[in-house]
Homo-oligomer: A and B are copies of this chain.
């Protein structure tokens, strides 16, 4: 098979041996694979792949058709349309993952959309509900809301009955984010005027978080998922005591195989049902062939886009 391959910080489209599914694993012919911030970090050597994932093939999510299952599999049959979050190796013609991590791709959802669904929606659902315990009627701030995780979070929070305040730097993206269901779309400088926030999903980093911290409701839960703009926060513990807020962080990638399977089951129950019903969509800003991964990564890094950049195979 061919795969996007990191070679000394550059990306190439190279031949690799076909992966072979082991016990409990399924081999998938990849049709589409979203790009995530972690791919860019990994390319620069700053976020090595976890054990079991290919060290030189990026890609934390993919969608495609089942080729074959290894021993002790059986939920999915050859030809079934599936998608998954994976520890790495998604940006390739073939990928292998534990069957428990797979989600079915609903009828009527294209592979391009499906390739950009698993990582963003799993991250957003886990952060908003499993980590921050967002409840119906609560006020949630989503920063960086025009990106992949941001657009997923806006839609999921709204579907769960929360009041969604979306912070988006580029005013040209405000209308599109409002159309996804955000009750209020604001520029980052206005975060202080739209609180208090019961939940804050931080997708930008320390400077953005610092602004939100001053406008939390009593008992607020902050979950940090993205720190592209900075990871060092000067925290005033007295303010935290006064608001009885909590600050937490989360990643999916470092979790055990069983934990990832558990996330997949929760996503299958909520976000996937919404996708099947057309109540959430995957905004795809651009689709490029895997052979043009370098250009696609540049497009991702440039920002100012709505939703995902998705690579396609074949």
Contact = CB atoms under 8 A, between A and B. Distances in A.
Interface of A: 131, 205-206, 209, 221, 224-225, 227, 231-251, 254
Nearest to A233: B235
Given A246-B247, A248-B246, A248-B247, A232 B236 contact: yes
Contact of A237 (B233, B238, B239, B245): B233
B206 A244 contact: no
Contacts of A254: 242
A251 to B, nearest CB: 5
A234 B234 contact: yes
Copies of this chain, count: 2
B232 A241 contact: no
In the A-B complex, list the 6 residue pairs whose CB atoms are closest, starting with the nearest.
Answer: A241-B249, A240-B249, A246-B248, A246-B246, A233-B235, A231-B237
A247 B240 contact: yes
Nearest to A242: B254
A231 B224 contact: no
Most buried by B among A233, A242, A247: A247
Contact of A241 (B221, B235, B251): B251
Contacts of A131: 244
A248 B131 CA distance: 14
A180 B225 CA distance: 40
B236 A231 contact: yes
Contacts of A250: 241, 244
Nearest to A256: B218
A233 B246 CA distance: 14
A248 B235 CA distance: 11
Contacts of A225: 241
A224 B236 CA distance: 11
Nearest to A250: B244
A250 to B, nearest CB: 5
